[in-house]
C-alpha cells in the first residue's frame, strides 16, 4: 500500500505536467492558423476539425464526426502519449507509471469515441452556465473555448490561460458601462482598446434593449445607493434581460459597501459571472483589465 500511494502521486504529477505541455501545444496550434508558414497551417487545420465538429454556436455537426476522430482525436492522442513518454523519460519516472499514463490517454480517447464525441466537456447547450471560479476546468469552461477559440485553452488546469490572460474575451463583444466617473471612463477606454464595442451611459439611459445585447455590464457608480440605481436592481435587470442568451453574462461592480458586500453573492445565478472591482480605481483601468483577464473575480 505504501508503494502504491507514491506511484499514484507520481502518475498524477506526470499527467498534470503533460496536460500543461499539451495546453502549450494547443495554444500554438491556434496561433499557427494565422501564420504564413504552410506546414504550421496544415498542423493547425487538424485541430480546426474539432472546432468544425462543435462550432462557435455550440452546435454539433455529426457529418464531421469521422473527420474529427481521424484528423483531430488520433493525432492528439499521439501527441499526448509522446508528451507523457518524454516527460517520464526526462524525469526518470518508473516505466510502469508511464505505461499507466499512456493507458489513461488511450482510455480517454476510447471514451470519447464511444460517446461519438459528446463527452462531459462537449455538449450542445442552449444556455452555458458560468464556469467555476477555481483553477480546474469544467464543462462550461471548455464550452467557452469553442465559443472563443483563442481563449479558455486549458484542458484540465488553467495555468496557461492565467499566465497568458486568456480568461476574458472582449474583441467584438458588447460592453455597457453605466456611470461617468473618471474610473468608469478609463475602464470604458481600456475595453475599447481591447476591441470591444463599448457604450457608456448614465443609469437613467439604461434600457432593456441595451441590456439584452450586452455581454458585459459594468456598474460604475451606486454601490451605496438604493432604488432603481442600486447595484442590486441593476444586476437583477441585467440577468432578466440576458436570460435567452447562449453565453454567461459578465457583471462588474465598481466599489462596494457593507450592505452590497453582504448581499451580492445571494443575487448571482448560475449564468452570471460577478466581478467586484473594490480597488480598481487605485490600480487603474489597464491593470484591472489585466487581472480580470487572468481570472480574478475580486480586484
DSSP character string of 237-253: HHHHHHTT-SSPEEEEE
Domain range for residue 251? 174-293
Nearest CA among 138, 135, 165 for reference residue 151: 165
Domain boundary pick from 164, 183, 208? 164
In degrees rounded to 5, what are phi and psi of residue 269? -95, 180
Instruction: Confirm if 145 and 122 have CB atoms less than 8 A apart.
Output: no
Read off the C-alpha cell for 293.
483577464
Domain boundary pick from 108, 141, 164? 164
Question: Distance between CA atoms of 42 and 279, rounded to whole angstroms?
Answer: 46
Asked if residue 206 and residue 79 are part of one domain, the reply reads no
Asked if residue 35 and residue 108 are part of one domain, the reply reads yes
Residue 2 is predicted with a pLDDT of 44
Residue 129 is predicted with a pLDDT of 96
Residue 257 is predicted with a pLDDT of 80
Q: How far is CA 182 from CA 80, 151, 298, 299, in A?
A: 49, 30, 20, 18
Within-domain flag for 169: no
Q: How many domains does the chain have?
A: 2
Q: How far is CA 163 from CA 205, 213, 262, 296, in A?
A: 38, 30, 31, 12
Within-domain flag for 56: yes
Which residues fall within 8 angstroms of residue 112, CB to CB, at 6 or more apart?
73, 119
Asked if residue 41 and residue 94 are part of one domain, the reply reads yes
* DSSP character string of 157-191: BTHHHHHHT-S---TT-EEEEE---HHHHHHHHHH
Asked if residue 64 and residue 102 are part of one domain, the reply reads yes
Per-residue confidence in pLDDT tens, the chain, 299 aa: 445 558 889 999 999 999 999 999 999 999 999 898 899 999 999 999 999 999 999 999 999 999 999 999 999 999 999 999 999 999 999 999 999 999 999 999 999 999 999 998 998 888 999 999 999 999 999 999 999 999 999 999 999 999 999 999 999 999 999 998 899 999 999 999 999 999 999 999 999 999 999 999 999 877 667 778 889 999 999 999 999 999 999 999 998 887 888 888 888 899 999 999 988 888 999 999 999 999 999 99
Q: Percent of the chain, pLDDT > 90?
A: 82
Task: Write the pLDDT tens digit of every residue in 31-46.
Answer: 999 898 899 999 999 9
Asked if residue 139 and residue 272 are part of one domain, the reply reads no
Asked if residue 159 and residue 13 are part of one domain, the reply reads yes
Within-domain flag for 299: no
pTM for the whole structure = 0.93
Which CATH number belongs to the domain containing residue 244 in this structure? 3.40.50
What burial class does residue 249 get, using C-beta atoms within 10 Å of its C-beta: 0-12 exposed, 13-18 middle, 19+ buried?
Answer: buried
Amino acid at each position: 500500500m505504501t508503494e502504491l500511494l507514491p506511484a499514484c502521486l507520481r502518475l498524477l504529477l506526470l499527467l498534470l505536467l503533460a496536460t500543461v505541455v499539451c495546453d502549450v501545444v494547443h495554444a500554438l496550434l491556434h496561433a499557427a492558423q494565422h501564420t504564413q508558414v504552410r506546414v504550421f497551417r496544415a498542423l493547425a487545420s487538424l485541430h480546426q476539425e474539432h472546432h468544425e465538429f462543435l462550432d462557435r454556436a455550440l452546435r454539433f455537426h455529426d457529418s464531421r464526426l469521422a473527420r474529427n476522430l481521424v484528423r483531430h482525436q488520433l493525432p492528439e492522442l499521439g501527441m499526448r502519449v509522446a508528451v507523457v513518454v518524454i516527460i517520464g523519460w526526462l524525469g526518470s519516472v518508473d516505466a510502469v507509471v508511464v505505461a499507466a499514463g499512456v493507458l489513461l490517454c488511450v482510455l480517454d480517447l476510447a471514451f470519447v469515441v464511444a460517446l461519438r464525441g459528446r463527452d462531459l466537456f462537449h455538449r450542445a447547450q442552449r444556455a452555458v452556465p458560468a464556469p467555476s471560479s477555481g483553477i480546474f476546468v469544467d464543462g462550461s469552461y471548455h464550452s467557452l473555448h469553442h465559443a472563443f477559440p483563442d481563449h479558455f485553452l486549458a484542458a484540465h488546469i488553467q495555468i496557461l490561460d492565467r499566465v497568458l490572460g486568456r480568461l476574458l474575451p472582449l474583441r467584438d463583444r458588447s460592453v455597457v458601462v453605466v456611470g461617468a466617473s473618471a474610473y468608469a471612463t478609463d475602464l470604458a477606454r481600456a475595453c475599447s482598446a481591447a476591441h470591444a464595442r463599448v457604450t457608456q451611459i448614465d443609469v437613467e439611459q439604461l434600457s432593456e434593449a441595451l441590456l439584452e445585447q450586452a455581454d458585459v455590464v459594468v456598474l460604475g457608480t451606486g454601490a451605496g445607493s438604493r432604488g432603481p440605481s442600486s447595484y442590486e436592481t441593476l444586476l437583477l435587470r441585467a440577468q432578466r434581460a440576458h436570460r435567452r442568451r447562449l453565453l454567461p453574462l459578465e457583471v462588474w461592480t465598481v466599489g462596494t459597501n457593507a450592505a452590497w458586500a453582504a448581499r451580492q453573492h445571494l443575487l448571482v445565478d448560475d449564468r452570471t459571472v460577478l466581478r467586484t472591482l473594490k480597488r480598481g480605481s487605485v490600480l487603474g483601468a489597464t491593470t484591472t483589465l489585466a487581472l480580470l483577464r487572468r481570472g480574478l473575480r475580486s480586484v
